[in-house]
Amino acid sequence: MGKAGDKKVKKLQQNLSALAARDRVLWLGGDEERSLYWLKHLDEHRYGDLHRVKLKDFGLAGGKDDGESDIEGLALDGDRLWLIGSHSLRRRKHNDRKGHPLDMHDEQSRNAHVLGCLRLDGAGLPVSGQRLEFDAASPGDALTQKLAADSRIGRFMKIPSKENGLDIEGIAARGERLLVGLRGPVLRGIALVLDLRLAGLDDDGPTLSLAGCHCRYLQLAGLAVRDLAVVPGSDDVLVLAGPSMTQAGPCYLYRWRNALGTVNNGPVAGVITLEELEPLLWIRDGRPGRPDEGSDKPEGLEVQRHGGRLLVWVAYDDPTKTRRRGQGSRTRLDGFVLP
């Protein structure tokens, strides 16, 4: 991934939360940065020569005082690289030395409330950015405002992430349409995905507006969405599912048939349609990791066509020592051939 001893590389290595690959470039997102990173394709399944892209340079983040971007999802569609932050509140860790342990952070991250895209050139590198409209005087954006008014989701907006509060993780893109996965809340065992439509993509301006938003309800056996990825050449979407909170638990890969198919105008009042998904793979069991040795929490998902087959890559937050072994700073992903 990068040079040994590089603090930013080590931090990214420990906190991988999103990935997307195309045209011999692998994009990476971390949940403790205000940047994205990309790697060059070296050989069949190996990438290296790490490069950094500061989101502030493209209007997709503020400065250090606005906190970390907490990027939790990446998706490539045409000449756009989409990204989304968690949009969540944060509680301090039990061993936090910069504030009172387990209290809420004094200032919540403005940068985590980002939904936008980078326009890419012919080499797959960014030339401009567009972002969903936001109020510079508040930490939220147009999506935050929309969800705050929702009768089911709004009450979870004041609950921190990893405690079944609002926590966005995962994005899939097709034109002006986005599917946004929620790690939280999970409602009585039902996982949620936001079906969004944006306006302004064809304009030259830096701002996008929210033209539509409705919620879809997935049966994931009590698990939450950890990431999404469009199956190339189809309307299907892969769903990486795992626990909504921080406890160890099972993680599975599902196929959501026709997820990006016929577009409707949203649910009928008083009626909820529960969508059943096809279970594909068991990624990990529920055993916790060992102290100081990593826990391999599945966070990032990417799918590619390779030799006529679908190859799925899974990246891990808090990777185990075994996954990080090798010369320099390396991280090994897991690859799965879909059945």
Q: Is 322 helix (H, G, I), strand (E, B) or coil?
A: helix
Residue 220 CA, chain-centre distance (Å), reads 18
| CATH fold label, 7-337 | Tachylectin-2; Chain A (2.115.10)
Residue 12 CA, chain-centre distance (Å), reads 14
In this predicted model, what pLDDT tens digit does every residue of 132-149 receive, in sequence order? 999 877 889 999 999 999
- The 8-class DSSP code of residue 329 comes to B
The ranges assigned to domains in the chain are: 7-337
Mean pLDDT of 103-127: 89
Residues 117 and 129: beta-carbon distance below 8 Å: yes
Question: What residues contact 250, with CB distance under 8 A and at least 6 apart?
Answer: 223, 242, 243, 282, 284, 285, 286
pLDDT-derived band at 97 (thresholds 50, 70, 90) equals: confident
At 296 the pLDDT is 86
Residues 49 and 39: beta-carbon distance below 8 Å: yes
In this predicted model, what pLDDT tens digit does every residue of 1-42 receive, in sequence order? 555 556 667 778 777 899 999 888 999 998 778 999 999 999
Q: How far apart are CA 175 and CA 189, in angstroms?
A: 31
Token pair 């004041």: residue: 158
